[in-house]
Amino acid sequence: MVQQQLLQKRPSHSLNGKYSQVHKRLGELVRALAKEKDIGSERQLSKITDLSNNGLRKWSSCEADPKLQNLMQFAYSLGWSLTELISFAEGNEDIAEMLAKRKRQKALAPDSEEVDER
């Protein structure tokens, strides 16, 4: 019964009644980030990214399509580029591995933000 209710809540625009791979990956990423020890909850992730908690919850359950502006804000507030976020969402890399790799890279070069001095 619960499963039938969940199936009815799927977005009408999704392909063949199934969530796209990108939607699933984005949802998995939101859930994984919310569980990170330095973040700890979806509410804290909402504060970090300055996006609504309800919006992130809908992303994590594939109930909403994020707007491009919100994806950019999400990525940039986490120190990612939009390209990195989209590449991850379209890829197959394990989420835990990807997050661990990003932490290692950040630890090796914490102040490596590129500055364009033109």
Classify the C-alpha dihedral 4-5-11-13 as positive or negative: positive
| Residue 5: pLDDT band with limits 50, 70, 90 | very low
Domain ranges of the chain: 18-107
Give the model confidence (pLDDT) of 46-82 as tens digits: 999 999 999 999 988 888 888 899 999 999 998 889 9
Q: What is the pTM of this model?
A: 0.70
- Which CATH fold would you assign to the domain 18-107? 434 Repressor (Amino-terminal Domain) (1.10.260)
So what's the pLDDT on residue 112?
53
Phi then psi for 50, rounded to 5 degrees?
60, 35
